[in-house]
């Protein structure tokens, strides 16, 4: 009890704001004695390095003589203490920046220095400018790279740089949380009143944000300057833990403490009134007016003849939607890029290859050609982060899928980025819980949950018997529906060969498979049949058979004892395994695994097991496993961890037969 | 009129079709069965003009049969300061071989992205993304090289997993009398020689090759891939002339690159004197300087132009306190020289590379270390880029490799020694107690030595949570949690580390109510790959042998009795040893297990025996202990 009290007192101290802020310098320059002598960071003793301070200043300069009068400046100052040998990596800096024709950012490295204690003296080693490298990494992305010299365990390093940009609406996000813990982060954002803007903050660790009026200097055409009004957004945060990636998370950045500024419009009285995005209505209007979106929704179908033919041949509306989806995916293949816009659909049609936007605009045109009502559903891929509910943000809308309504009242979701997609079957990457129906102006209506467009199942039936030579032989039939069918098609196609696919199944389950057969992969659902042999386990008079014959989830999928991010399952799952075991001559049932149902609340993970002996001398057992909810918050993790332990224990249980 | 046209067409067509019909149906069936893509043509024409100028012309035609073959149709061209992509054209064809479209040079993607701090490589790439299969893609491109021709492109007539090869050829043309050296590895292909004006022309060609088999316990790519290496007798880089007929001569050139790069600044000399003043012996001095290197410098890779071969000078490393393997090795060598210890700079191949003792080529090495001759004979091998490894430990990347040891203006080859398999030991000592209610608790101490230590070493960098997570993966105990983790290291030439921890496992309620099924290896997964069942094609190769030992005591509450224990197992043979005894001793269960996998190479005909050895051991690990409620 006393120990607990002490512990909670200790925890309080730890979380009580700045630990040693008075010893931490806020400015570049010679570090404090405390910083030089520091050997660990108390709040995270495993940290290889800690960010002592980071300061970000973002503001605009008005330059009247240029086309774009607003120059956007980002100034960064970072100071880091290296605490462990592997922490020297913190001195290898790579700054990404954007460059596309005239829209360009310029990075200037202002300083980079390492401070080391040599005897009682602090010695500074400074970066030589010729050791700054520049790399073009992709079409419009470059990297400025340097490694600060003289860095070792114990060094304090500092660097500062400025990114100047003529893309005035593209303010960089300020990432407060990163690979290393941060003792203090500060910064400010000064935005002239000409802009309409939003500033969002994200993450578990709350940031202090203050807004106050400010002035900016506007130079006059020939000489002098006047003041313009602006708003200053000051932010600060202290003792922010490192953000470590964890499995079972689609987009770790969703949990990162960040400031996300977004310029929503530009309004200079009498000169310009441009809205970038304020409400969904604005978003839709802009998209509608855009050549690369709105016009594509009206484009003629490039496969009109084929669609007409299909429509004539197909009676069922659902079948026709499927037929058109299959037609489009067979003609044009997704090029693995997610895009909201497409400025060259002709090329996509000609090359048979295009972005998510191109393939879905083509699908849109084909479905329209067949007379369906089709509406895009705007979304952000799951690994790119969630769309905020609060207000629309263009950088969180990066692709779309389609909603189709048939004349007989069916509503379906389709997407053309994968040839194994189907009606209401889209890849897990697009199964977001927040998507926005295009054109639905009502702010609160329009949201669509795509996380389970159709229930999918795996159902197995295993009939087995024990042979005289101590072997278990079984016949297995498994049905895969909807998404599960799509996933097995993918696994099958991605296997190096059919042999490899079957061998993998053998390895995973410790069985020897014969006559593996998968039904037609062009059909929506898939049927797999095979038989297998396995040596039965036994000792003396006993025979032990796994509770579900083929062990299912015999090891917990969760290996972490603790977590700091929620668990997000890839999709909702539903498994049902039914086994029928013929009791061999001369044996009787000694023990059966207990009938049991394990579950988490709110449609969380559920596992149910039943086994019984029937009148015909068979053991019949059934295992049901359902993931009916995708997200499990951090405080539910211990329960989830334990549940999977119990599931594994149950899956390792045995049916015991005894010789009579 | 109509008739004549048909005649003309029929005259033209067969010729055109024969010249380039890329239809998938033209591929011999034995090349398509179980294959994802087929390289139809892989033609290289290498025209060597002189020491400073050469042109490579490539034609690559690939037919992709299904989704898994797409990667084989990707285009890559690597260029740098001395190499540039002069021309490019491409075309995509449908299943019948009819052209679909052309690929323009402007469609190539470009990146300069480098893994380290900087290099001068630019990569051009393109991936055809076709909706239907089969399709064929053809690339024709030309790369020119100015300066630094220390090797000719190699001829590698093979396409990788799942891809077969219909036809490959390599044409080398050199001015008459030009000397060069070739070496065949995993192939006996020989060139046809002819004379074309002032040029001598050599043509290597081959074809109809099925994909290489990738099998469990199979040989590495180095032992499978057919390669013809080609190296010019004389070469020049940055105005420095060299001869590459032997490693000795090649080393004379490399020596020139290193000359004058060992000068140390005065403050460092003073520091070295201070660091070594109390050192009683050479090894103490070496240790003092190795520790200084580890504490004050770090590995940062910069490979630009000749900087890919020439070490950064000692002074530059001192100023930056960083360098790559060449720079750091040269730096420590200079420091050792300063206190009178002659150390040799060493070039070595790691991972997919190894130096061929009697064939010189800069393509065969990719790393630099140091070697200090010992008074007792032999060498002290020093890795300068991994300061966390103890001095004198020969890590798995260099053990058994051929080393080019530089000395007195030239170099000779030595083989880096290999530690005995039994030294790569992982020893588990543990106890597990089963309480009356079925809950369990235990203690585990795991000691890992040599290569196993190297694998375990990153553990020390992890935080408490990540450590628990990693250990959790070892366990075969549902519902177990880990606590009380400690990690200690014994740093020496045969280093080891000991990880100990407590385990507790909750009640496996209602699993099988009257019994407990306990893994007889609760703290370790069964070792080795699954041997698979396909008919064996390649040699069996075990590269890094090792040993596991487990000593585990299981105590159980008196309300339980033993129903079943795994039978004792003993196999001892050339592949290794497996010994497992699970015995009831005074109301407890004692498990003693040893598994040793020997380093070795065996013909495919032995696969059944080898497989049986592995499977027996794996099933031994997997066997269960059954306790029954009295």
Cβ neighbours of residue A594 under 8 Å, at least 6 residues apart? A609, B510, B511, B512, B513
The number of residues in chain B equals 630
Q: Round to whole Å and give the CA distance between A473 and A511.
A: 10
- The average pLDDT across B160-173 equals 94
A640 pLDDT exceeds 90? yes
CA dist B564 and A370 (Å) reads: 68
The stretch B469-496 carries a mean pLDDT of: 93
3-state secondary structure of A82: strand
Q: Is B277 on the interface with A (CB under 8 A)?
A: no
* pLDDT value at A425 more than 80: yes
Q: Do B513 and A44 touch (CB under 8 A)?
A: no
Query: How is residue B460 annotated by DSSP?
Result: G
Give the bridge partners for B142, in sequence order.
Answer: B57, B87
> A327 to chain B, minimum CA–CA distance in Å?
11
Q: pLDDT band for B221, please (50, 70, 90 cuts).
A: confident
Question: pLDDT digit string (tens) for A223-259?
Answer: 777 778 899 999 999 999 999 889 999 998 889 999 9
Say if strands B402-407 and B344-348 run parallel, antiparallel, or are unpaired: antiparallel
Q: Hey, are the CB atoms on B465 and A537 less than 8 Å from each other?
A: no
Question: Does the pLDDT value for residue A418 go beyond 70?
Answer: yes
User: What average pLDDT does range A487-515 have in this prediction?
Assistant: 87
A356-369 helix and A317-331 helix, angle to the nearest 10 degrees: 140
- pLDDT, one tens digit per residue, over B559-612 is 999 999 999 999 999 999 999 999 999 999 999 999 999 999 999 999 999 999
pLDDT of A275 reads 66
Q: What is the pLDDT of residues A463-481, one digit of tens each?
A: 999 876 678 899 999 999 9
Region A78-93 average pLDDT? 96
Q: Which of B479, B510, B530 has the CB atom closest to A645's CB atom?
A: B479
Sign of CA dihedral B180, B184, B190, B191: negative
Q: What's the alpha-carbon Rg for chain A, to the nearest Å?
A: 31
Please answer yes or no on whether A652 and B511 come within 8 Å at the CB atom. Answer: yes
pLDDT at B10 over 80: no
Which helix (H) or strand (E) segment is A625 a member of?
strand A618-627
How crowded is residue B561: how many other Cβ atoms within 10 Å of its Cβ?
12
- Are B480 and A645 a contacting pair at CB < 8 A? yes
Name the helix (H) or strand (E) containing A509: helix A498-509
Among candidates A149, A351, A592 on the partner chain, residue whose Cβ is nearest the Cβ of B320:
A149
Which of A92, A135, A417, A505 has the highest number of chain B CBs within 10 A, making it the mutation to test binding with B? Answer: A135
| φ, ψ for residue A234, nearest 5 deg | -95, 135
In SS3 terms, B534-556 reads as CCCCCCEEECCCEEEEEEEEEEE
Q: Does residue B568 contact residue B580 with C-beta atoms inside 8 Å?
A: yes
Q: What is the mean pLDDT of residues B344-372?
A: 95
Q: What are phi and psi of A506, to 5 degrees?
A: -65, -45
pLDDT in tens, A522-558: 999 999 999 998 887 877 788 999 999 988 888 888 9
Please report which helix (H) or strand (E) contains residue A107, including its range: strand A103-118
Confirm or reject contact between A351 and chain B (CB < 8 A): yes
Query: What pLDDT is recorded for position A278?
Result: 67
Q: Which two tokens stand for residue B271?
A: 């520091």
**β A458-466/A573-582 pair status:** parallel
Nearest-by-CA chain B residue for A509? B530
Separation between Cα atoms, residue A388 and residue A401, nearest integer Å: 18
* Backbone dihedral angles phi then psi of residue A536, each to the nearest 5 degrees: -75, 140
Residues 6+ apart with CB under 8 A from A510: A534, A551
Calculate mean pLDDT across residues A604-628: 95
> Per-residue pLDDT for B303 more than 60?
yes
Q: Are strands A92-100 and A174-175 parallel, antiparallel or unpaired?
A: unpaired
Q: Which DSSP category does A270 fall into?
A: T
Asked whether residue A11 carries a pLDDT value surpassing 70, the answer given is no
Residues B88, B94, B100, B103, Cα dihedral to 10°? -20
Among B146, B156, B167, smallest CA distance to B79 is for B146
Is A591's Cβ below 8 Å from some Cβ in B? yes
Q: What is the pLDDT of residue A98?
A: 93
Task: Give the one of A537, A592, A648 whose C-beta lies nearest to B478's C-beta.
Answer: A648
Residues B83-118: tens digit of each pLDDT: 999 999 999 999 999 999 999 999 999 999 998 999
A386 touches chain B (CB under 8 A): no
Does B517 contact chain A (CB < 8 Å)? yes
Q: Is B95 left (phi over 0), alpha (psi -120 to 50) or beta?
A: alpha
What are the two backbone dihedrals, phi and then psi, of residue B25, each rounded to the nearest 5 degrees? Answer: -70, -15
**Residue A469: how many CA atoms within 13 Å on its side-chain side?**
5
Integer Cα distance of A658 and A542 in angstroms = 5
Q: Which residue of B has its CA nearest to A490?
A: B67
* H helical segments located in A135-243: none
**Cis ω before B134 (30° cut-off from 0):** yes
Bridge partners, residue B204, by sequence: B170
* Cβ–Cβ contact A208 with B under 8 A: no
State the average pLDDT for chain A: 90
Contact B511 A556 (CB under 8 A): no
The closest CB to that of A591, out of B68, B111, B514, belongs to B514
Cα dihedral angle (B101, B102, B103, B106), rounded to 10 degrees?
-120
- A551: contact with B, CB 8 A cutoff: no
CA B566 to chain centre: 38
With beta carbons under 8 A apart, name residues in chain A contacting B320.
128, 131, 147, 149-150
| Distance of alpha carbon A564 from alpha carbon A248, whole angstroms | 11
Distance in angstroms (rounded) separating the CA atoms of residues A367 and A361: 10
Asked if A435 contacts A340 with a C-beta cutoff of 8 angstroms, the reply is no
Contact status, residue A421 vs residue A414, Cβ threshold 8 Å: yes
Q: Does B460 touch chain A (CB under 8 A)?
A: no
Residue B229: which of B415, B365, B326 has the closest Cα?
B365
Structure token digits, residue B405: 């040891």
Report cis status (omega within 30 of 0) of the bond before B459. no
Q: How far is A144 from chain B (nearest CA, A)?
A: 10
Greatest alpha-carbon span in chain B:
106
Say whether pLDDT at B233 is over 50: yes
User: B267 touching A, CB under 8 A?
Assistant: no
Segment B502-523 mean pLDDT: 86
Residue A204 backbone class (left: φ over 0; alpha: ψ -120 to 50; beta: rest):
alpha
pLDDT of residue B6: 40
What part of B 88-127 touches A (C-beta under 8 Å)? 100-101, 109-114, 117-118
**Beta carbons of B512 and A353 less than 8 Å apart:** no
Residue from B2, B21, B190 nearest B96 by CA: B21
Judge whether residue A55 has pLDDT over 90.
Answer: yes
Rounded to 5 degrees, what are φ and ψ at A648?
Answer: -60, -45
Q: How far apart are CA A490 and CA A486, in angstroms?
A: 6
Selected residue with higher pLDDT from A270 and A308: A308
How far is residue A542's CA from residue A544's CA, in Å, rounded to a whole number?
7
Instruction: For B512, name the nearest residue in chain A, comparing CA atoms only.
Output: A593
Q: What residues have CB less than 8 Å from A427, skipping those under 6 apart?
A: A415, A417, A418, A421, A486
ipTM at complex level: 0.90
Q: Does B297 touch chain A (CB under 8 A)?
A: yes
Give the tens place of pLDDT for each residue, B514-548: 899 999 999 999 998 888 776 888 999 999 999 99
* Nearest in space to B149 (alpha carbons), one of B266, B36, B63, B230: B230
For residues B346 and B370, what is the distance between their CA atoms, to the nearest angstrom? 5
Q: How does residue A277 score in pLDDT terms, banded at 50, 70 and 90?
A: low
The alpha carbon of residue B315 is apart from the nearest alpha carbon of chain A, in Å, by 13
Look at A93-107, B194-208, B240-254, B340-354 and tell me which has the smallest mean pLDDT. A93-107
Closest Cβ–Cβ partner in B66, B111, B117 for A133: B117
Quickly list DSSP for A564-614: SS-EE-SS-EEEEEEEEEEPPTTEEEEE-PPPEEEE-TTT--EEEEEEEE-
Question: B-contacting residues of A 138-157, CB under 8 Å?
Answer: 138-139, 143, 145-147, 149-153
Span B309-317, mean pLDDT? 96
What is this structure's pTM?
A: 0.91
| Mean pLDDT along residues B256-274 | 96
Residues in chain B closer than 8 A to A306 (CB atoms): none
Give the alpha-carbon dihedral of B139, B145, B150, B156, to 10 degrees.
10
pLDDT confidence tier of residue A393, bands split at 50, 70 and 90? confident
Q: With CA atoms as reference, report the closest residue to A359 among A297, A276, A287, A415.
A: A415
Chain B residues close to A123, C-beta within 8 Å = none
Record: contact A44-B463, CB cut-off 8 A:
yes
Residue A587 tokens, joined: 């044996």
Q: How far apart are CA A377 and CA A450, in angstroms?
A: 10
3-state SS string for B331-395 = HHHHHHHHCCCCCEEEEECCCCCCCCCCCCCHHHCCEEEEEEECCCCCEEEECCCCCCCCCCCCC
Contact status of A118 with chain B (Cβ, < 8 Å): no
Tokens 């010019």 map to which residue?
Answer: B232
Interface check B322 vs A, CB under 8 A: yes
- Of the candidates B481, B598, B589, B464, the one whose C-alpha atom is nearest the C-alpha of residue B528 is B598
Q: Which of residues 6-45 of A touch B (CB under 8 A)?
A: 44-45
Residue A54, token pair as written in the block = 């980071």
Task: Note the pLDDT of residue B5.
Answer: 42
Phi-psi region of A253 (alpha: psi -120 to 50; beta: other; left: phi over 0): alpha
From start to end of B257-315, where are the E strands?
298-299, 302-303
Residue showing tokens 């030991």: B425
Question: Hey, is the C-beta of B295 within 8 angstroms of any chain A C-beta?
Answer: yes
Angstrom distances, CA of residue B167 to CA of B38, B228, B230, B381: 10, 16, 20, 44
């Amino acid at each position: 009890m006393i120990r607990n009290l002490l512990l909670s007192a200790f925890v309080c101290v730890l979380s009580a704001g700045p630990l040693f802020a008075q010893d931490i310098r806020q400015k570049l320059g010679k570090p404090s004695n405390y910083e030089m002598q520091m050997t660990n960071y108390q709040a995270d003793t495993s940290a290889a390095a800690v960010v002592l301070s980071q300061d970000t200043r973002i503001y605009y300069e008005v330059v009247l003589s240029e086309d774009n009068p607003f120059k956007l400046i980002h100034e960064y100052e970072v100071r880091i203490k290296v605490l462990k040998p592997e922490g020297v990596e913190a001195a290898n800096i790579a700054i990404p920046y954007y460059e596309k024709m005239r829209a360009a950012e310029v990075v200037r490295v202002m300083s980079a220095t390492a401070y080391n204690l040599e005897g009682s003296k602090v010695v500074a080693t400074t970066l030589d400018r010729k050791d700054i490298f520049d790399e073009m990494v992709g079409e419009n992305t470059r990297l400025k790279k340097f490694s600060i010299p003289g860095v070792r365990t114990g060094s304090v390093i500092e660097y500062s740089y400025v990114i100047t940009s003529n893309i005035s609406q593209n303010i960089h996000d300020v990432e407060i949380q990163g690979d290393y813990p941060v003792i203090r982060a500060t910064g400010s954002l000064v935005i002239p009143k000409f802009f309409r803007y939003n500033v969002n903050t994200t993450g578990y660790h709350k940031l202090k944000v203050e807004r106050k009026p400010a002035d900016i200097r506007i130079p006059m055409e020939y000489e002098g300057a006047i003041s313009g009004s602006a708003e200053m957004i000051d932010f600060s945060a202290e003792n922010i833990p490192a953000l470590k990636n964890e499995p079972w998370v689609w987009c770790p950045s969703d949990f990162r403490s960040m400031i996300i500024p977004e310029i929503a419009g530009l309004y200079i009285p009498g000169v310009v009134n441009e809205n970038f995005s304020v409400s969904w209505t604005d978003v839709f209007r802009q998209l509608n007016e855009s050549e690369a979106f709105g016009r594509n929704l009206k484009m003629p179908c490039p496969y009109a003849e084929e669609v007409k033919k299909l429509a004539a041949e197909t009676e069922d509306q659902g079948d026709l939607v499927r037929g058109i989806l299959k037609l489009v995916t067979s003609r044009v293949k997704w090029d693995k890029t997610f895009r909201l816009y497409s400025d060259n659909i002709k090329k996509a049609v000609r090359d048979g290859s295009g972005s998510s936007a191109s393939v879905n605009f083509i699908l849109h045109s084909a479905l329209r050609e067949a007379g369906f009502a089709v509406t895009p559903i705007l979304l952000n891929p799951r690994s790119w982060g969630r769309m905020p509910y609060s207000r629309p943000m263009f950088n969180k809308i990066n692709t779309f899928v389609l909603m189709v309504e048939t004349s007989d009242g069916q509503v379906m979701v389709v997407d053309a980025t994968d040839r194994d997609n189907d009606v209401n079957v889209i890849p897990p990457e697009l199964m977001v819980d927040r998507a926005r129906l295009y054109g639905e102006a009502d702010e609160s209506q329009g949201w669509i949950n795509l996380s389970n467009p159709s229930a999918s199942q795996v159902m197995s039936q295993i009939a087995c018997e024990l042979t005289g030579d101590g072997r278990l032989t079984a016949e297995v039939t498994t049905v895969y529906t909807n998404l599960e069918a799509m996933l097995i098609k993918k696994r099958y196609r991605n296997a190096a060969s059919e042999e490899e696919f079957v061998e993998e199944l053998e390895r995973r389950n410790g069985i020897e498979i014969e006559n593996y057969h998968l039904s037609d992969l062009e059909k929506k659902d898939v049927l797999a049949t095979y038989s297998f042999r396995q040596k039965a386990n036994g000792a003396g008079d006993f025979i032990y058979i796994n509770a579900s014959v083929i062990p299912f989830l015999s090891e917990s999928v969760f290996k972490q004892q603790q977590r700091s991010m929620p668990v997000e399952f890839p999709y909702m799952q539903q498994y049902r395994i039914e086994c029928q075991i013929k009791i061999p001559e001369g044996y009787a049932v000694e023990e059966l695994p207990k009938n049991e149902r394990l579950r988490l609340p709110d449609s969380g993970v559920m596992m149910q097991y039943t086994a019984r002996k029937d009148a015909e001398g068979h053991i019949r057992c059934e295992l049901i496993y359902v993931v009916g909810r995708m997200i499990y918050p951090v405080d539910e993790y211990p329960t989830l961890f334990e549940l999977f332990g119990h599931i594994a224990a149950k899956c390792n249980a045995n049916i015991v037969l005894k010789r009579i | 009129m109509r008739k004549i046209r048909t005649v003309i067409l029929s005259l033209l067509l067969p010729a055109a079709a024969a010249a380039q019909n890329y239809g998938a149906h033209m591929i011999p069936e034995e090349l398509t069965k179980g294959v994802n893509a087929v390289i139809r043509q892989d033609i290289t024409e290498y025209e060597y003009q002189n020491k400073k100028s050469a042109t490579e012309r490539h034609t690559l035609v690939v037919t992709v049969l299904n989704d898994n073959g797409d990667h084989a149709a990707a285009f890559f061209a690597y260029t740098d300061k001395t190499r540039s992509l002069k021309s490019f054209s491409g075309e995509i064809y449908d299943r019948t071989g009819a052209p679909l479209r052309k690929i323009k040079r402007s469609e190539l993607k470009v990146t300069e992205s480098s893994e380290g701090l900087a290099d001068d490589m630019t990569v051009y790439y393109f991936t055809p993304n076709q909706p239907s299969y089969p399709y064929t893609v053809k690339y024709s491109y030309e790369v020119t090289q100015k300066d630094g021709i220390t090797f000719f492109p190699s001829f590698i007539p093979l396409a990788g997993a799942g891809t077969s090869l219909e036809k490959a050829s390599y044409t080398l043309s050199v001015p008459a009398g030009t000397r060069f050296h070739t070496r065949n590895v995993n192939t006996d292909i020989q060139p046809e020689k002819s004379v074309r004006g002032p040029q001598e022309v050599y043509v290597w060609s081959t074809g109809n090759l099925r994909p290489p088999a990738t099998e469990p316990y199979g040989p590495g790519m180095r032992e499978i891939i057919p390669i013809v290496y080609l190296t010019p007798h004389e070469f020049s880089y940055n105005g420095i002339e060299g001869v590459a007929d032997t490693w000795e001569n090649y080393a004379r050139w490399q020596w020139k690159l290193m000359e004058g790069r060992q000068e140390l600044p005065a403050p460092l000399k003073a520091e070295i004197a201070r660091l070594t003043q109390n050192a009683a012996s050479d090894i103490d001095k070496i240790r003092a300087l190795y520790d200084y290197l580890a504490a004050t410098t770090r590995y940062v890779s910069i490979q630009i132009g000749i900087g890919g071969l020439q070490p950064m000078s000692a002074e530059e490393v001192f100023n930056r306190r960083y360098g790559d393997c060449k720079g750091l090795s040269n730096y420590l060598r200079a420091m050792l020289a300063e206190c009178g210890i002659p150390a040799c700079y060493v070039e070595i191949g790691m991972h997919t590379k190894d130096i061929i003792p009697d064939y010189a080529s800069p393509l065969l090495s990719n790393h630099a270390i140091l070697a200090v001759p010992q008074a007792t004979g032999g060498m002290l091998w020093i890795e300068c880029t991994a300061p966390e490894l103890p001095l004198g430990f020969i890590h798995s990347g260099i053990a058994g490799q051929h080393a080019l040891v530089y000395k007195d203006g030239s170099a000779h080859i030595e083989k880096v020694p290999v530690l005995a398999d039994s030294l790569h030991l992982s020893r588990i000592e543990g106890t597990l107690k089963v309480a009356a209610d079925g809950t369990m608790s235990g203690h585990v101490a795991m000691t890992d030595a040599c290569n196993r230590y190297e694998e375990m070493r990153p553990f020390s960098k992890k935080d408490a949570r990540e450590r628990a997570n990693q250990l959790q993966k070892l366990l075969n105990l549902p519902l177990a949690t880990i606590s009380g983790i400690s990690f200690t290291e014994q740093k020496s030439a045969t280093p080891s580390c000991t990880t100990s921890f407590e385990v507790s496992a909750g009640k496996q309620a209602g699993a099988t109510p009257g019994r407990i099924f306990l893994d007889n290896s609760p703290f370790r997964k069964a070792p080795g790959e699954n041997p698979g069942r396909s008919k064996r094609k390649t040699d069996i190769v075990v590269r890094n042998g090792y040993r596991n030992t487990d000593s585990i005591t299981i105590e159980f509450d008196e309300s339980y009795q033993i129903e079943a224990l795994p039978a004792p197992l003993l196999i001892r043979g050339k592949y290794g040893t497996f010994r497992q005894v699970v015995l009831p001793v005074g109301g407890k269960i004692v498990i003693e297990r040893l598994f040793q996998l020997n380093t070795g190479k065996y013909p495919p005909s032995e696969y059944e025996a080898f497989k049986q050895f592995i499977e027996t051991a794996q099933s031994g690990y997997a066997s269960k202990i059954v306790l029954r409620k009295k």
